[in-house]
Amino acid sequence: MAPPTQAEISAEMDRIGTGVELTQPRLDYPPYRSSLRRHPSRALVAVDPEAVERSGPVFGARDVDPLDADLTIAHRGDPIGERIVIAGRVLDARGRPVAGQLVEIWQANAAGRYIHQRDQHPAPLDPNFTGTGRCLTGPDGSYRFVTIKPGPYPWRNHQNAWRPAHVHFSLFGTRFTERLITQMYFPGDPLSEFDPIWRSITDPAVAARLVARYDHDLTEPEWATGYRWDVTLGSGMEEQ
Length of the chain, please?
240
Q: Which of residues 39-68 bind other proteins (CB under 8 A)?
A: 39-53, 55-64
Question: Interface residues for other proteins in 106-125 (CB under 8 A)?
Answer: 106, 108, 114-119
CB of 116 to other proteins, least distance (A): 4
Site string for other proteins, 143-182 (x = CB under 8 A): -------------------------x-x-----xx-xxxx
Q: In what helix (H) or strand (E) does residue 197 lie, and over which residues does it extend? A: helix 196-199
Q: Which is nearer to other proteins, 21 or 222 (CB)?
A: 21
Q: Minimum distance between the CB of residue 83 and other proteins, rounded to whole angstroms?
A: 20
Q: If we measure between CA atoms, which residue out of 145, 7, 164 comes closest to residue 86?
A: 145
DSSP state of 8: H
Q: Where are the alpha helices (DSSP H) in 79-173?
A: none
d(CA 193, CA 195): 6
- 104 lines the binding site for other proteins (CB under 8 A): yes
Using DSSP's 3-state secondary structure scheme, residue 140 falls into: coil
Confirm if 169 and 184 have CB atoms less than 8 A apart: yes
Q: Which of 25, 112, 141, 151 binds other proteins (CB under 8 A)?
A: 25
Instruction: Round the CA-based radius of gyration of the chain to a whole number and report it.
Output: 19
Tell me the site size for other proteins, rule CB under 8 A: 79
Provide, rounded to whole angstroms, the least separation between the CB of residue 191 and other proteins: 15
Q: With CB under 8 A as the contact rule, which of the stretches 19-27, 140-148, 186-194, 214-222 interacts with other proteins? A: 19-27
